[in-house]
Structure 1
Amino acid sequence: MAEYEAQSEIKTRVKGAPRLYFLNNEELMEFFLKPEFGGEPYRTLIPKCFPGISSFKFGRQANEIVGFVTPSGEMLLFNEIIKISDNIADAIIALAEMMKDALQSLQIRCCSGLIKNPNKTDRWIRTFPAQTLILAGQIYWTSELDKALESWYKSESKKSLKQMRKEYDGVITRLSENLTTNMSLADRQKTTALLTSELFLSKKISDLIKNDWVEPTSLEVSTLMKFYFNEDTAEITIIQMFSSSQYAYQTYEDVYQAVITPETERYIIHITTALNLNKYVAIESSRASGKFETIRCLAKTLGRLVLPYCCSNYSSVDSALMAFEVTAKLGAWAVIKNYLDMNKNVLEEVSYHLSRFLRSMNDNEFDSSVTLNGIPISIQLKPTFFLASTGPNTHGLPASLRAFFRPIAMKGPDTGKISEMLLIAEGFTEALMLSQKV
C-alpha cells in the first residue's frame, strides 16, 4: 500500500515536468526521497532529463546551478544563477527556460561577431559553441545570398554570386587547413561540423551560378532553406518553399553535422511541405537507409528535440499514451519505429487515441490546450509524429489514422557522396579519389 501511494505521488509530481519521464521509477524514488541539494541525485539525475547535456556546473552553494556542459565538452553559462527550489518539477522547468535564454544570448553575440568579421576566424570558432556557429553561418549565408540575388535581378550579372562563392571557397580552404594543425578535440569537432555546413552552403551557390537565369519564385530559389534572425527578440524564422517555422533553441545532443546530399534535401522538402499542410509523415524504406538520421538532421536544423520510440508486440496502451503525452508537452518530434508491430487490439486502441489527438491539434490550430485520452494537455510548441518502418507503412494503418500521415518512400543513402563530403570536412585534399575506396 505504501509503495502504491509512493508511485501515485511520483506520477502526480512528474505530470508537472514532462522531462522527468526520462528517469525510471527507481531514479525518481531516489530523487524524491533524497532531496539534498547538490547531492548525488542532483548531479547525476538532473542531466538525464536533458538529452543535450552531460552535466551541470554547480555554484558555490549546493543548490546553485550556473551553467551546463554539452556531450562534446562545451560549457555554456546561464545568464543568471539558478537556485533549485524544493519542488524539483519547478526546478526542471526553470532549467529548461534558462537553457533557452542562454542559447539566445549566445546566438546574438555570435551573429554580431560574424557580421563584424565574416571570415570565421579561429577566435570566433573557439569562443562560441558549435550550435551557434553553424546557425550564425546559415543566417549570414541567407543575408548575403539575398543581396547577391537582388544584384543579379537588377544588373542581370552573376558577379555578386561569383564573388560570394569565391569568399566561401576561401573560408573552406582556411577551415580545412586549420584541421591539419594541433587543436583540442572540442575545437576539432566544432571546425569539422562548421566546415560540413559551409560546404553544403557553398554548393548551393554553385548550383545557382550554373543557371542562366532564375526568377525570385523559381524552384531553384524557393527550395533553399533560409534563416532570418531578429536581433531584438533573438527569434529565428526558417523558410523553405511555402513552409515557415521558428527555431526552438533545443540543445544539440552532439556537434556532428550530417551530410546533406541531393536525395536528403528532397526528403527534407517533402517533410517540411507535409508539416506545412498539417500532415505528419510515414517513411517507408529498407533497413539502414537513414530514416532516423534524416529526421534528426532536419530537427537539429530547426532546433527541435527528437524522441525515438520503438514499438513491439509487448507495447501497451498506457506506455504509448505516455509517450504521446511527453512528446506533446515538450513540443518534440516523435519517431515511432515499427508501429504496426504492436498487438492488433493495442494497435487499434492506440491509433484511436492518436487520431483524436491529432485531430484536436489540427482543429484548434494549435491552441494552448488539446486533449489526449480525454485529458487536457497544455502545449507551447506543436509536436510532430513520424512513423518509420521497413515496409509499406500507410497500407496497414487503421483507417482512423491513415488520413493524418503522408507517405514518403526513401531509398538507400548516397554513400559515395557522403564519404567525399566527410573526407573534405576532415581536411583531406584528395577526397574524391579516396571516397571511391571507402
Structure 2
Amino acid sequence: NKEDSVVFRIRDEMQDFNEMVPIIEELANAALKDRHWADIFSLIGCTYKPDDVVNLQWLLKNRLGSKIEEVARISTNASKEHSLEKALEKMVEDWDGVDFRCTGYKDTGTFILGGVDEVQMILDDQIVKIQSMRASPFIKPFEAIATSWEETLQTLQDMLDNWLLCQSTWQYLEPIFSSEDIMKQMPEEGSKFQTVDQIYREIMAKTSKAPGALEVGRDKARLEDLEEANELLDAIQKGLASYLEVKRIAFPRFFFLSNDEMLEILSETKDPTKVQPHLKKCFEGVNEVKFSDNASDIVGICSVEGEVVPYITKVTPAKANGAVEKWLVQVESSMLEAIQDSCKQANKGYAQTSREAWVTQWPGQIVLVISAVYWTSEVAAAIAAEGARAGSVKAYADACTAQLMKIVDLVRGDLSKLNRKTISALVVMDVHARDVVQNMAEKGVCSETDFEWLSQLRMYLEGEPGAETVMERMMNAEIEYGYEYLGNSSRLVITPLTDRCYRTLMGAIHLTMGGAPEGPAGTGKTETTKDLAKALARQCVVFNCSDSLDYLTMAKFFKGLAASGAWACFDEFNRIDLEVLSVVAQQILEIQIAVKNKVKTFVFEGSELPLRVTCNVFITMNPG
C-alpha cells in the first residue's frame, strides 16, 4: 500500500543508514590502533582518550560523516601498517627451530659448520624483504623494530660469510701448521695460526652448546672475533706465499708445483725418502733417487723404466739441515754431472766395444746422443772423402744399413725390457740417419757446407780433454746439449715435416726466440716440440691453456722457466683471453730481452730471479 507510512519510514531509515555504511566499515577496521583513533578524533576537533566510551551516534553528531575520505585514508594506512607488523612477526617466527649444525672434524677435537643452506636461504629472503619494508612509507611506527631486525640479519649474514671463509682457510692451514717442521721454519705465522686456532675452537664450542641461528646472529662479539681471525689468516697466507716464493727461487723447479705439493715436500725435512713421490714433478725423467744402504746419501737416480744412473758426487741431505730445496739443488747438479760424465765414458767405450754390445751397456739417453756424435763424425769423413773417392757417401749409407740390420737382429734376440726400450728408440734414430745418408748419396753431396748436410741435426763432442761437451748444430744454429736426464723414453719417428719443424725451431732458439707450431688437433705439434727438447736434453714442461688462466698464474710459470732454464710448451695458446694475452706477451718479451743481454739476474714481476739462458717458450695453436 503506497499510503502505508511504516514502509516509508523504514525506507527512509534504511537510506539514511546506507549512507552511514562506508564510515561504519572504515571505523570497524580491526587494524585501527590508538594512534589512528587519535587522528580520527582530531578530524572533529576532539581529543582521544583511550578510556572514554564513545559510540557511533556521538561521532556522527560531531559531523564525522562529512570526513569520510580522511577516515578512509587513516583506515587504509592502518591496514597497511598492520600487514607490515604481521610480516615482521612472521620473520621472527621463521627462525624458530633454525640451528647451526656442527659436525666433528677429523681428529682435531673441534667442529665445523655443516649445511648452512637453510640459514642462507632464510637470510637471502628476509634481507630483501626487510629492505623493501624499510622503503615503505607505512613503516614509521615500527621503524626502530625494523632497523634493529635488519641489523640482526646483516650481522648474521656478515658472520656467516666471515665464518665460512675462516673455516675453509683454517681447514687448509690446520694440517700445514700441525707439522713441527713448518712451525720451526715459520715461527711468526705459526704463532698467528695458534691464535686463530684458539678463536675458531672457542667459537665452535660455543656454537655447539647454543646452536640457535638467531642467538648467534645477535652476538656481535663473535663477528668481531671472526673478522680478527680472518685478518690474521690473510697475514698468514701472505707470509706463507712469500715463504714459498723464497723456496722457489732457491730451487726454481718448485715453480712448477702447486702450493699444496710444495708444502707436502717442505714438511718432510727429517725424512728425505718421503720426498720421493714428488720428484717426478721436478725432474721429468727421474722416478726416484737411489739411496745408499744406510739411507744417508743419494747415490744415483732411477727412471720409471728402472734404469739407474749412478752419481759421481753423492748428495747428503742431512748436510742441508732440513732445507729440502738445498739438497734438491745438489740432486740436480749431480744429475747433470753424471749424465755429462756418462757421455764422455760412453764415447770412449764406443771405439773399444762392438756397437751391438755397447748399446746394452749404457743408459738409453747416452746411447742415442753418442751414436749421433759418431754418426756425425763418420758422415763428415765420408763427405770429405767424396771429393777424392767418389761413392764414399754411398758406401757409408750401406754401412748404416748394415749397422741397422745388426741392431734389428738384437731386437729379435733375448733382451731385457730396459734394453729393448733403448734399442727401440735407437732403431728410430738409425732409420732416419740411414735415410739422410742415402738421400745425400743420391743428390751427390760432396761438401760439408752443402745445405743437405747443414740442415741436419748434427752432434759434436768438443772441448779440452776432460772438459768435453756435446754441441748440437743445425744450419747456423749452435746449442750445447743440456744433460737433463730424461729417462729411457721413446723417440718420435722423424718425417720431412718434422725436419722442417726442427730447422725452424732451432733457428728460433738461435735467435733467442720461441717457436709456434700451428695445425689441426692431433698432428704432433706438441710432440715435435717435446721431441726436440729430448734431442737437446732440456726439461720441457707442457702446460694446457684455458680461458680461466690469469696473468699471475702465467707469471709464476715464467719465473720457473727463467730461473730453471727449462722449456715450456703452452698447448692451445689461442684459448687464453685477449686481455691476459697482452700481459703474457709483455712477460715473454721481458725474459727474451734478459736472455739476449745474457744477464745473470733480472727483476720479473716483483722478484729478483737468477736467469738461465737455456729457457725458452713455445706455443701451439689450432687454427680457427
- Once structures 1 and 2 are overlaid, which stretch shifts more, 160-169 or 262-271? 160-169
Pairing 1:222–2:470 present: no
1:436 matched residue in structure 2 = none
Aligned to 1:380, which of 601, 604, 612? Answer: 612
Closer/same/farther in 2, CA of residues 360 and 7 from structure 1, 3 Å limit: closer
| Counterpart residue number, 2:417 | 185
Q: 1:252 to 1:89 in 2, by over 3 A?
A: same
Deviation at 1:324, TM superposition (A): 0.7
Go from structure 1 to structure 2 and tell me whether the alpha carbon gap of 1:313 and 1:188 turns closer, same or farther (over 3 Å shift): same
Q: Does 1:176 align with 2:408?
A: yes
Residue 98 of structure 1 aligns with an amino acid whose one-letter code is S
Deviation at 1:7, TM superposition (A): 4.1
Shift of 1:347: 2.5
Q: Residues 214 and 221 of structure 1 are in contact (CA less than 8 Å); yes or no, is this contact kept in structure 2?
A: no
Aligned to 1:333: 567
Q: CA shift at 1:358, angstroms?
A: 2.4
**Mapping 1:8-407, distance limit 5 Å:** 8-39=242-273, 41-84=274-317, 85=320, 86-117=322-353, 119-122=354-357, 124-153=358-387, 155-158=388-391, 160-230=392-462, 232-362=466-596, 364=597, 366-391=598-623
> Using the alignment, how far apart are the partners of 2:276 and 2:268 within structure 1?
12
Q: Say if 1:94 and 1:238 are closer, same or farther in 2 by CA, change over 3 A.
A: same
Q: Answer yes or no: is the 8 Å Cα contact 1:66–1:77 preserved in 2.
A: yes
Q: Which amino acid aligns with 1:258?
A: L
SS at match of 2:470: strand
* Counterpart Cα distance in 2 of 1:147 and 1:214: 11
Checking the alignment, whether the CA contact within 8 Å between 1:287 and 1:390 is kept in structure 2 is yes
Q: Secondary structure at the match of 1:207?
A: helix
Shift of 1:205: 1.1
Kept in 2: contact 1:357–1:371 (CA 8 A): no
Letter in 2 for 1:26: D
1:238-259 Cα distance to aligned partner (Å, 9 max, x none):
1111111100101115420111
Per the alignment, do residues 381 and 213 of structure 1 end up closer, same or farther by CA in structure 2, a change over 3 Å counting? closer
Is contact 1:19-1:92 (8 Å) kept?
no
Offset, 1:104: 1.1
SS state of the match for residue 270, structure 2? coil
SS in 2 for 1:281: coil
Q: Secondary structure at the match of 2:515?
A: strand
Cα pair 2:562 2:591 within 8 Å, conserved: no
Residues 1:12 and 1:244: Cα distance change in structure 2 (over 3 Å)? same
Moved over 4 A (4+): none
State the alpha-carbon separation in 2 of the partners of residues 92 and 359 from structure 1: 29
Structure with the larger strand share: 1
| 1:68–1:76 Cα contact (<8 Å) kept | yes
Q: For the residues of structure 1 that align with 2:563 and 2:366, how far apart are their CA atoms?
A: 25
Q: Measured at CA, do residues 46 and 386 of structure 1 come closer, stay the same or move farther in structure 2, by a change above 3 Å?
A: closer
Structure 1 gap segments, 5+ residues each: 393-438
Instruction: Please identify, of 251-260 and 144-153, the stretch whose mean Cα deviation from structure 2 is larger.
Output: 251-260
Rounded Cα–Cα distance in structure 1 between residues aligned with 2:255 and 2:418: 30
Q: CA deviation at 1:13?
A: 1.7
**Larger of the two Rg values belongs to structure:** 2
Contact 2:461 2:469 in 1 (8 A): yes
TM superposition shift of 1:100 = 0.7
Determine the C-alpha separation between the residues in 2 that align with 1:242 and 1:9: 44
Task: State how far apart, in whole Å, the 2-side matches of 1:139 and 1:300 are.
Answer: 15
Cα RMSD of the aligned pairs, angstroms, is 1.9
Question: How many angstroms does 1:369 deviate by?
Answer: 2.3
TM-score by length of 1: 0.83
Equivalent residue of 1:389, what SS? coil
Counterpart residue type for residue 602 of structure 2: V
Change (3 A) 1:381 1:356: closer
Cα drift, residue 374 of structure 1: 4.8
In 1: Cα distance, 2:605 partner to 2:374 partner: 45
Are the aligned partners of 1:280 and 1:386 in contact in 2 as well (CA < 8 Å)? yes
> Which residue is 1:410 aligned to?
none
Distance 1:213 1:144, change over 3 A: closer
Matches within 5 A, 1:411-422: none
Count of equivalent residues: 385
| Structure 2 residue matching 1:79: 3-state secondary structure | strand
Question: What's the secondary structure of 2:485's corresponding residue?
Answer: coil
Q: Over residues 282-313 of structure 1, what are the superposed CA-to-partner deviations in whole Å (9 max), with x where a residue is unaligned?
A: 22211111001111111111111111112212
AA in 2 matched with 1:72: E
For each residue in 1:207-262, what CA deviation from the matched residue of structure 2 results, as whole angstroms up to 9, or x when unmatched? Answer: 11102354432211211221110352131111111111100101115420111111
The amino acid across from 1:318 in the alignment is: L
Tell me by how many angstroms 1:23 deviates: 3.3
Q: Are the equivalent residues in 1 in contact too, given 2:380–2:448 (CA < 8 A)? A: no
Residue 399 of structure 2: SS of its match in structure 1? helix
Aligned residue type for 1:67: G
SS class of match (1:320): helix
